[in-house]
């Protein structure tokens, strides 16, 4: 399929050919505006309904509670801003964690500038919150708890059912960023007392630029985008029908192959993890076993620069990501690795590998050989 090894699937995924095929008619023949009243638009409306039905079935939700968005970031922004602005009479306090995706953290920072108060929960070395601390942090004026379903950097799977139960008992709304969790974690919004859930198609082999927000019926929420009357008056803008069809097809595939896919990914993940840990000065960041996403490996090397390691891997045809980002010559260290207590020396030498169903065992073996060679070479140069 490619002449490189792609191991950055938490960033984005290859679109399934069946998804592309399903979308094609809606880019060419069936191009009408679904909000129009003529018969040409009926198929587009029906196609959107089919995707709504599939998303609802996957989550144990009602189809009417699924709203299409431009992706995960919009869904997260809408859920958080919408619920706090729509329920200010209850209070202006929000609870979240220190390891959330920047789509959540930057939204919360924006709200703090508007006078809202945010409590950021600490996490342990595995990225797990203390449920007793969560209980104590929820106050009478807490309007929302926003905690991700699974962490994008270290793969931690959070206990949604327990969190949802606490929120329901305390009478506060619960939003979860499930962008990394769809297809990897079993989610039932009713059983888990989830009020809002955000998702993005390109994280599970669907198209970019489309996602959805699950929004429990009966909750007052402000709109994020104003204009027309699309999405039952909740989200304005002409719908991305082709993208929504692609989202639906990707979800259908997720529902069909998730058990076998996750079993195989867990095997490859463990193979890669065990091999990397044999390299001197390597440590695993985050949990082991079933509390970790089946495709996530995050490691750090002592005495190695992660950016240099990443670039050398790229030169060798292996695409991964770093736990630190280089911006204008400055290292922006991972807030997640800091939160779980990783030492600075190791943070600077961190790498994240995220697998997909398209990765093969021989790719893992080549990656292990290449990483070991580059680490040894960098350490020799650094002496």
| pLDDT tens profile 60-98 | 999 999 999 999 999 999 999 999 999 999 999 999 999
Selected from 3.90.1150.10, 3.30.160.70, 3.50.50.60, 1.10.3720.10, the CATH number assigned to the domain covering 5-11+258-382 reads: 3.90.1150.10
212 in Cβ contact with 75 (< 8 Å)? yes
Give the C-alpha distances (Å, rounded to integers) separating 283 from 287, 300, 350, 377: 11, 5, 9, 19
**Topology alike, domains 5-11+258-382 and 17-253:** no
Confidence at 379, pLDDT banded by 50, 70, 90: confident
pTM of the entire predicted model: 0.95
- Please give the positions annotated as active site: 326
Q: What confidence tier does 327 reach under pLDDT thresholds 50, 70, 90?
A: very low
pLDDT at position 1 is 52
Q: Rounded mean pLDDT of the chain?
A: 94
Asked whether the predicted pLDDT for residue 266 surpasses 50, the reply is: yes
User: How much is the pLDDT for 114?
Assistant: 96
Residue 287 has pLDDT above 60, yes or no: yes
Name the least confident of 32-46, 128-142, 191-205.
32-46
- CB neighbour list of residue 205: distance below 8 Å, 6 or more residues apart: 13, 14, 15, 16, 19, 250, 253, 356, 357
- Higher-confidence residue of 289 and 139: namely 139
User: How much is the average pLDDT of 259-273?
Assistant: 97
The domain 17-253 is placed in CATH, from the list 3.20.20.70, 3.40.640.10, 3.50.50.60, 3.30.450.20, at: 3.40.640.10
Is 266 within 8 Å of 292 (Cβ atoms)? no
Helix residue spans in 87-170 (DSSP H): 102-113, 131-137, 160-170
Domain ranges of the chain: 5-11+258-382, 17-253
Distance (Å, whole) CA 211 – CA 69: 5
51 near 244, Cβ under 8 Å?
Answer: yes
């Amino acid at each position: 399929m490619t002449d490189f090894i792609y191991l950055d699937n938490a960033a984005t995924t290859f679109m399934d050919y069946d998804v592309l095929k399903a979308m094609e008619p809606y880019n060419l023949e069936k191009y009408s505006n679904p909000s129009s009243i003529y018969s040409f638009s009926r198929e587009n409306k029906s196609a959107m309904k089919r995707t709504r039905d599939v998303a609802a079935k996957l989550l144990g939700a009602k189809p009417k509670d699924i709203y299409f968005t431009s992706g995960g970031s919009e869904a997260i922004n809408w859920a958080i801003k919408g619920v706090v602005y729509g329920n200010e009479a209850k209070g202006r306090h929000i609870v979240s964690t220190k390891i959330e995706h920047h789509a959540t953290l930057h939204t919360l920072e924006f709200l703090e500038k508007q006078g809202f108060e945010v409590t950021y929960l600490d996490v342990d070395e595995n990225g797990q919150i203390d449920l007793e601390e969560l209980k104590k942090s929820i106050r009478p004026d807490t309007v929302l708890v926003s905690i991700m379903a699974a962490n994008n950097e270290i793969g931690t799977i959070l206990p949604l059912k327990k969190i949802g139960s606490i929120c329901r008992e305390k009478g506060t709304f619960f939003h979860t960023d499930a962008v990394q969790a769809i297809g990897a974690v079993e989610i039932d919004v009713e059983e888990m007392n989830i009020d809002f859930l955000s998702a993005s198609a390109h994280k599970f082999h669907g198209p970019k630029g489309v996602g959805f927000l699950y929004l429990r019926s009966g909750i007052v929420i402000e709109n994020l985008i104003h204009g027309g009357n699309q999405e039952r008056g909740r989200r304005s803008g002409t719908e991305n029908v082709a993208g929504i069809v692609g989202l639906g097809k990707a979800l259908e595939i997720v529902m069909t192959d998730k058990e076998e896919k996750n079993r195989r990914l867990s095997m490859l993940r463990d193979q890669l993890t065990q091999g990397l840990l044999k390299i001197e000065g390597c440590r695993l960041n985050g949990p082991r076993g079933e509390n970790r996403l089946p495709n996530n490996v995050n490691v750090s090397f002592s005495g190695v620069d992660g950016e240099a390691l990443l670039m050398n891997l790229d030169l060798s045809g292996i695409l991964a990501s770093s736990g630190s980002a280089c911006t204008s010559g400055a290292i922006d260290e991972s807030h997640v690795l800091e939160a779980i207590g990783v030492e600075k020396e190791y943070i600077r030498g961190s790498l994240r590998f995220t697998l997909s169903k398209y990765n093969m065992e021989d790719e893992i073996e080549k990656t292990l050989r290449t990483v070991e060679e580059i680490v040894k070479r960098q350490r020799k140069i650094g002496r």
